[in-house]
Structures are given as structure tokens and as C-alpha cells.
Structure 1
Amino acid sequence: MVDGLQPRRFGAGQQSVKPAHSSRRLFMAFEFATASQWRSILFLTLTCLVLFLPGFFTIPPIDRDEVRFAQATKQMVESGDFVDIRFQDDVRYKKPVGIYWMQAAALKTVSALGVPRAQVRIWVYRLPSLIGAIGAVLLTYWTALAFVTRQGAVLAALMMASCVLLGVEARLAKTDAMLLLTVTAAMGAMARVYLSWQRGEDPAHPSWGPPAVFWTALAVGILLKGPLILMFVGLAMAGLAILDRSAAWFWRMRPVWGLMWTLVLVLPWFVLIFLRAGETFFADSVGGDMLSKLGAQESHGAPPGLYLLLFWITFWPGAPLAGMAAPAVW
């Protein structure tokens, strides 16, 4: 009987030891991958490529806006007119020119590398979205470094990289992945400036780095999708000002120089499109596209709270952890 029991005890021991060994190996691999800043960045970049590249080159166009963006960019490159935005014989003034310039740069680069018929390959127009998604993950890491350890920042970036919605947007030739990059950059820069003010660091010689990132991201975000980035950043600033009963930290953002830099980047195209199309662009993009989203647009109506419900699916697997962290954040 003793001999008969021994194998079962040994087998039970194996089952309990194997998970421990696996967990230990996984922990050691994670420690190795995050042992330095450069290893962490390389690890996150490779993870993004593993998550985003499957299907990137082979999935056909699945979104009607993706086709419209790609066709408008193709016509822009063929015509050599990088100011006006046209879809077939009509104007397309729903979004500013930023994403079309990025897609045009991708098309010209891929064509210069000798890829045949690059202008009709949808994956070429998706390259800015892939770059935007990877950049948003890396900037999530950079932003989180202001609050937590390097390992914690890597985990935050991994949650962003693995979420369902970003995986979808990385494979679509649209604005959203690149807009996420600009918003994450702006919020990360703002966090650094705000925390330096909270810590009482010397305001006489503040760093130029975070303000430069903030205002540049703001300008690129405006060129991508108009004033949306201003809403994200502005609401965060207003919330901090209300909680702290002060907005003195904002002067560390070098707002005078920053606004001038933003206008230098943004105004030239807006002036050119105004001279070309008059008020038509602003009426179509702001009135016809952005403000119309306050109601049902293109049969996309849904009751209030739908996005909050979808969050638990689209941000999976990070959504449950976000819910668990909500009390601590509050």
C-alpha cells in the first residue's frame, strides 16, 4: 500500500511545483526584459509588433472610412496637391490634413523602396496607424514612469498594447491610433510639469523638454482631428485647477512660447485651405462632422452610457484592472 501511494504523492508534488517553476521563469524573464530603459523599450516594441502585425498586410479594407482616407491620399499624391483634400470628384473636409500627409509620406517611402503597385495596397496607408499604435504604447510607458517604477510602467504599457480596441485601430488606415499617440504625449508631458510643481521644484529654470513635447503634440493633434485634443487636455487642466484651486503650475508649460510654436505648426495649412475653399472646410469639419457627433451621425445613434459599457470589452484585458484600481485612483 505504501508503494502504491508514493507515485500519487510524487505526482501531486509535481503538479504543485510546476506552476511555481513556470511563474518563477516568467518573472525572471520579465525582470530581464525590464532591467534597463532600452531593454524595456525594445521589449515593448517587439511585443507591439507581435500583437499588431498579424493580419496587417492581409486583412482587406473592412471600414468604409478607411477606404475613403486611402483613396483621398492616393489622389493627393497623384495630383501633387497637398493642400486640398478630395475624394473622387468631391471635396473631403471632414478632418484636417494631418493623416493624409502621413499616409502620403508612407506611400512615397514605400514606392521609393521599390514595392510594386504600392498605391493600391491598403497596408501602405495603414503604416501611420501602426506607428501611432506603437508610439502610443511607448508613450504610455514614458507617462507612467512619472508615477511608478520602470516595471510598473512596462505593465501599464502592456495593458495598452494588448487592449482590443488599439489592436483594431493599428490595422485601420484612419486617424485614431495616431491621435492617441498625440494625446498620450500631451498628457505625459503635462503630468511631468504638474508633478514638478507639486514637489516644489525650482520654477526659475524649468525644463524645456516636457513643454516642447506638449505643444508639439497639441499642434499635431489639431492637424489630425481638429479641436478634439484641446478638449481632452483642457478638461484635465480644468479638473486639476478645481481640485487644487490653483493653475499656477500651467506657467511652467511656457504657454506664450508654446502657443506661438503651435500656431507656427498649425496656421499655414489652415490659412491655405481657407484661401482655397473659404469657409467650406470649417463648416464641413467642425459643423458637419464634429458637432454632428453630439447627435446620431450616419445611423450611429446609441443611448448614453454605451461607451462606458463597451469599455469593459474594448479595453480588455486591462479593463478589470482599471475597475479594481478606480477606488485607489479616486
Structure 2
Amino acid sequence: MTSPSLPLPARSEGWGVRLLAFLERSHARALAILVVLSLVSFLPGFVTLQPFDRDEPRFAQASKQMLESGDFIDIRFQDEGRHKKPVGIYWLQAAVVSAAEAAGVPEARTTIALYRLPSLVGAITVVLATYWAALVLLSGQVGVPARRAAFLAGAFMAGAILLGVEARIAKTDATLAACSVVAMAVLARAFLNRLSPLPAVLSVIFWLAVGLSILIKGPLLLMVGGLAAAVLSIRDRSARWLLGLRPLWGLAIVAAITVPWFLAIWLKTGGAFFAESVGKDMLAKAQSGQERHWGPPGTYLLAFFGTFWPAAIFTAIGVPAFWRERRMAWVAFCLAWIVPAWLVFEVLPTKLPHYVLPVYPAIAILTAWALLNGDVHRRRPLATIATVLIPAIPLAIAAGLGVFAFRYDGTMLGPALPGFALAVGLALWSWLAFVRDRAVSSALLGVVSSLALSVSVFGVAQPLIPSLKLSPRLAAAARSLDCAEPRLATTSYREPSLIFLTRTDLVLTDGAGAAAFLAGGNCRMAFVEKRDEDAFAAHLSQTGLTPALVTRVRGFNINGGRQLDIGVYRTGREGASPPAAQGQQQDR
């Protein structure tokens, strides 16, 4: 192995290296610790975090409607077809909720945590598969113990902010990332050991991962893996190594997984699914910034320092080492995994942070190797300044949440302050360790700081900020309609989370429509945003109806960045006359 380009200062190994040496003695021990790190990182807030608008409740609601209708072919959101992604994630979510109902879990269909379980399993799989991929890539390399680097790479993924967020959101990206890293680990085995036959079981695992990924999110893994395979084949001037994957087997396996549903949805929708998913969703993202998610080239690179914190800072310092060793086969594989796909995502006008998640495991592996190889140290240009971001990120998050909670809820987040202090303190310790030339210890402290931050933000702070929980508070008000067939309507506040937490037949209307809705019968409730109340009151005066004001729900809608004030109005119970008196309760 080529020696580092800069001379390293004399130093002892530090406790971080000794800890990794202890963990590497047993795969079982290393994997068990990675599972624990994952659970500590991903579970806080898993149950208490409200459905996160807009994508998460759209997925969950569509899965819920499958259970309500018994139609597991078409994907619908209320009365409209949701023809953007294939059916895989909806089946996984529906299966979990159905099992929970069979086990007697109350209100399983509106319990968002159940719909998140596939994402949680996917995120844990990403961490463990990163460990496996690192072993595949680094076994036999001189200078860096493969198990040691594999554990560190897995720990980086467990602590990564982006994966932690996706583990808590009931949509496709954590499970897609799991399929991606599993498939890429097998592809790495085929490339690095192309002189020996690939075991049949690994070929089957590869094609199962590809097939499942297509059923979950279409061709994204094909793009990432296909670009990597093309670059590596050009590098070697041969693509014969791909024959080790047994492509004829692969076509049969992928077809068995995907064709039955694709054929069924084609017949059921008359081809409308493909017209919308390809023509209106995929191509729209390639042509313009869909749904206001536009960003210039370089957006992912800037976001990387937050989404892959804390490891991103060490990655940036290690880039010269990656480039220096680019001719090594395993480094070339990682770069082929990362660079072509990253460039495609940067060129596309639609920018969403999770798009680049499937390449993060390769970055984690390169970063772990560079740290253990001595290429990440304080003598790198700007290294000490760059590592100031380690404590800066948790400090900024803690301060931002504190200011938000005080402004919109008048709370000080006191119970979360010890956790925030611990996260910031560990991050400062991480920075000091780096300054003292203990880079590996610094990296491990950064991961532990990330765990403390996760517990503080998701487990302690967010339940104390009711202004962010508009839909759960409105849904709680709706439960006061204790009758057999309650009816609900809402005006300008139309977030998918409200539909998911209340009723699929929630009526979306305006102020005048809400008044007409309430006049249409008893046991009805309308959520009327303040800007709609003039029209609501004017129409009520024409009907002679005086519904009860049950409560007012005030909060902050992240989508649109607006404060909202919503009046909750109801008519009487079934068989009773609409109440004439208005209640005065205020829900703050």
C-alpha cells in the first residue's frame, strides 16, 4: 500500500483503536453492537413522532386503503390513483398492519409506527450490510484490519442523520438502501474475485435484492449498480466478470418477483400506472424541480455535511487518500459505486436528500479505511477547522429547536437540555480528540454524540412541541364524535396526515362548503382554518345553523411554513338536533 502523502506525527493508538481491536475479535460481538447502536439511534421518537407530511402519510394512507378495500393491486389515495411508485412498500406495510390487527393491536390502521417497521428493518439492514460489504471489499488488503474498518463503517451508517430520519419514515428509501447495499456487496465480490466462481447463493441474493428494489422504487438500483458495472468494465476493458452473476438466472428471478404485479396493474389501470409513474413522476423529476424541490448542481455536496454527520467531516479530509489509491481495485469499485450516480443526482433538477442514500455505505467504507490507514489527521489542510463542524451541527440543532419551541409553544424544552448538553459535550470531546491526533477516537465519539442527539431530538424534545402536531390534535378532537358513522370535513388544511389519522372519506372543501357539510346532517365535524371562517360564517347565516365550537387548534405547518389557527366545529350526535351554543374551549 502506498504510504500517506503527508508525514504523520508520532502518536499512540488511543482508546478508539483499542476498542475496535476488541470488537473485531468476533463477528457476533461486532454485529450485536451495531444492532444496539442502530436501535439507540433509530428508535427514539419512532412511536411518538407524528406522521411526517407529506410523503409518509401518503404511503401509509395508500397501504391503509388496501386493507380497507381488499384491493392489493391498485394503489390509491382517497379516490385518486397513486401511480408513482410500485407496490412493494405498500405490501410490506399492509402485511405488518394486518399482522398487528390479527394480534389484537388497538387502532392498528391509524398507528403510524406499524407502517414504519419496514423502514426500521431496512435501516438496520443497511448498517449490517455495510459491515458485510466492507468485509468483502477490504479482506486481503494490507495495512487495515478488515473487521475493524467494517465495524467503523457500520457505526458511521448507524450514526448518520439521513439514515436515522429515513428509519422513522414509512416510505421507500430505507428499504431501497438496504436492497442497494446488499446487491452492491455481491457485485463487489464478483468484481474483486472474478477469477473464482461466485457462489450460487450470492447470485440468488443479488437478483433477489434487485427484484425487490424494482418492486419498491423502480429502476434506481439498476441505475446505481449499472453505472458502477459500466465504469468498472470500461476500466478493465472487459465485462466478462458480470457473467459470474448468472444473468440468465437473474432475469428469471427478477421476472418472477416483478412481472405478476406489473402485468396486473397494467390490466387494472389500462396502462395508466406506467403513464403516470414514468411520464408524470420520473420524467418530471428529470426535467424540472418537482413539487418545489429544485436545487442547483452541488446541492447534495453541501447537504452531505449535515446528512452524513458526523462521518462527513472525516470523509472530506480523506478525499486525497481516496484519489491517491484510485487504482486499487476495491477503491475503484467504491468510487464507481459513488461518483457516477452522484453526478446523475446532481444534474437532475429535483433535489431530495434521500436520493443519494444508496451510495452512502460506500462512502462510509472509504472513510473508515482512511481513518484506520492514518490518512485522516490534523495535519491535512484545513482539517482542524473542518472538524469544528462536529460540535457545530448538534449545537445548531439544539439551538434551533429551542428557539422554535419557545416561539411557537412558549416552552423551554427543559427535559431535553441534559441530552443536548451531552450531545454537544461529546461532539466537543470528539473535536478535541482530533486536535490531539486521536482521529479514530474522534470518529467514535462523533457517533456516540449522534446517538445522544437522536435521543434528545426525537425521544425527548419533539413530543414537547405540540405546535408541530396539528393533525394528531385534530384527530383527537374528531374522536369526540362518538357515533357509528361520523363524518368529517376540512377546509384549507389538507395535509395527508389528517386523512390518515381520521378517515379515508374526509371531505376536502372550502369555508362555504364546510358550512353546507355541517348542515347536511348530525354527528359531523369540520376543521375550518381561520382564513376560511368569514366565508364559513356567511354561509352558516343563510342556513340558520349554529354549530358548536369544540376547540381551536393552533400550530405550525411545516409544509408552507405557516402558523395556522383552526376552529373545530361540530353538529350534534346522531338522532339529536344540531347544538345552538358555541363552546369556548381553546386547544393550545
In the superposition, the TM-score normalised over structure 1's length comes to 0.88
Bigger shift: 105-114 or 146-155?
Answer: 105-114
Give 2:320's aligned residue: 327
Give 2:213's aligned residue: 221
Any residues of structure 2 matched to 1:100-249 within 5 Å, and which?
100-148=90-138, 149-197=146-194, 200-201=195-196, 203=197, 206-249=198-241
What is the alpha-carbon distance in structure 2 between the residues aligned to residue 27 and residue 187 of structure 1?
28
Secondary structure at the aligned position of 2:316 is classed as helix
Give 1:12's aligned residue: none
Secondary structure at the aligned position of 2:168 is classed as coil
Look up the equivalent residue of 1:284 and give its one-letter code: E
Q: What displacement does 1:30 show?
A: 4.1
Secondary structure at the aligned position of 1:62 is classed as coil
Give 2:46's aligned residue: 56
Look up the equivalent residue of 1:130 and give its one-letter code: L
What is the alpha-carbon distance in structure 2 between the residues aligned to residue 114 and residue 154 of structure 1?
39
What is the alpha-carbon distance in structure 1 between the residues aligned to residue 112 and residue 253 of structure 2?
34
Contact 1:139 1:184 in 2 (8 A): yes
Q: What displacement does 1:288 show?
A: 1.1
Q: What displacement does 1:91 show?
A: 0.8
What is the alpha-carbon distance in structure 1 between the residues aligned to residue 313 and residue 230 of structure 2?
28
Question: In structure 2, do the counterparts of structure 1 residues 116 and 31 end up closer, same or farther at CA, with 3 Å as the change threshold?
Answer: farther
What is the alpha-carbon distance in structure 2 between the residues aligned to residue 112 and residue 63 of structure 1?
28
Report the structure number with the largest CA radius of gyration: 2
What is the alpha-carbon distance in structure 2 between the residues aligned to residue 292 and residue 94 of structure 1?
11
What is the alpha-carbon distance in structure 1 between the residues aligned to residue 172 and residue 97 of structure 2?
16
Contact 2:190 2:244 in 1 (8 A): yes
Per-residue CA distance 1:48-74 (angstroms, 9 max, x = gap)? 000000111101112211011111100
Q: What displacement does 1:111 show?
A: 1.9
Bigger shift: 304-313 or 169-178?
Answer: 304-313
Any residues of structure 2 matched to 1:263-302 within 5 Å, and which?
263-294=255-286, 295-302=288-295
Q: What displacement does 1:214 show?
A: 1.1
Any residues of structure 2 matched to 1:63-74 within 5 Å, and which?
63-74=53-64
Percent of residue pairs identical: 51
Higher relative contact order (CA 8 A, sep 6+): 1
Look up the equivalent residue of 2:111 and give its one-letter code: R
Q: What displacement does 1:227 show?
A: 1.1
Per-residue CA distance 1:224-247 (angstroms, 9 max, x = gap)? 111111111110011101111111
Contact 1:106 1:127 in 2 (8 A): yes
Contact 2:23 2:148 in 1 (8 A): no
In the superposition, the TM-score normalised over structure 2's length comes to 0.50
Contact 2:55 2:171 in 1 (8 A): yes
Contact 2:265 2:271 in 1 (8 A): no
What is the alpha-carbon distance in structure 1 between the residues aligned to residue 119 and residue 242 of structure 2?
31
Give 2:306's aligned residue: 313
Secondary structure at the aligned position of 1:60 is classed as coil
| Match of residue 84, structure 2, among 94, 101, 119 | 94
What is the alpha-carbon distance in structure 1 between the residues aligned to residue 135 and residue 189 of structure 2?
9
What is the alpha-carbon distance in structure 2 between the residues aligned to residue 111 and residue 151 of structure 1?
43
Q: What displacement does 1:321 show?
A: 2.1
Q: Structure 2: which 5+ residue stretches go unaligned?
A: 1-11, 139-145, 324-588
Are 2:266 and 1:262 aligned?
Answer: no
Q: What displacement does 1:257 show?
A: 1.1
Query: How many residues get paired?
Result: 304
Contact 1:190 1:210 in 2 (8 A): no
Question: In structure 2, do the counterparts of structure 1 residues 118 and 292 end up closer, same or farther at CA, with 3 Å as the change threshold?
Answer: same
What is the alpha-carbon distance in structure 2 between the residues aligned to residue 37 and residue 81 of structure 1?
44
Q: What displacement does 1:27 show?
A: 5.2
Are 2:34 and 1:44 aligned?
Answer: yes
Contact 1:219 1:266 in 2 (8 A): yes
Contact 2:83 2:273 in 1 (8 A): yes
Q: What displacement does 1:114 show?
A: 2.1
What is the alpha-carbon distance in structure 2 between the residues aligned to residue 66 and residue 171 of structure 1?
10
Greater share of residues in helix = 1
Q: Structure 1: which 5+ residue stretches go unaligned?
A: 1-19
Question: In structure 2, do the counterparts of structure 1 residues 184 and 65 end up closer, same or farther at CA, with 3 Å as the change threshold?
Answer: same
Contact 1:163 1:315 in 2 (8 A): yes
Contact 1:190 1:211 in 2 (8 A): no
Q: What displacement does 1:77 show?
A: 1.1
What is the alpha-carbon distance in structure 2 between the residues aligned to residue 41 and residue 155 of structure 1?
11
Secondary structure at the aligned position of 1:61 is classed as coil
Q: What displacement does 1:38 show?
A: 1.4
Q: What displacement does 1:189 show?
A: 0.6
What is the alpha-carbon distance in structure 2 between the residues aligned to residue 31 and residue 240 of structure 1?
33
Contact 1:193 1:210 in 2 (8 A): no
Q: What displacement does 1:81 show?
A: 1.1
What is the alpha-carbon distance in structure 1 between the residues aligned to residue 239 and residue 127 of structure 2?
29
